[in-house]
Amino acid sequence: MTKVKISATVDPACLERAKELTGISSVSEVLERGLAALIEDELERVHVEGYARHPQAGETVDAVDAGIWADLPWDEEGD
């Protein structure tokens, strides 16, 4: 993957907290993971807005509640 060198000004406390939470010492890697998370979040937002505009099977989704997925009994073994 081609990379580009950038200069950025960030909140030092926020950067340190991100490094602490992830265990990553490289500022570049922290920023790359942050950008990837931002992209994923925006794509999910656009996806939800699309479903709200064009409901599937007559259902309207106003917002996604991530907590609903936490309690589902996932069957990862295929049983």
Q: State the pTM of this model.
A: 0.60
Average pLDDT of the chain, as a whole number: 82
Question: 26: Cβ–Cβ under 8 A, 6 or more apart, which residues?
Answer: none
Specify the DSSP class assigned to residue 56: B
Residue ranges in the chain modelled with pLDDT below 50: 79
* Nearest-5° Cα angle at 29, 23 to 31: 105
User: Tokens 């937002």 belong to which residue?
Assistant: 45
Q: What is the pLDDT of residue 35?
A: 94
Q: What is the pLDDT of residue 59?
A: 59
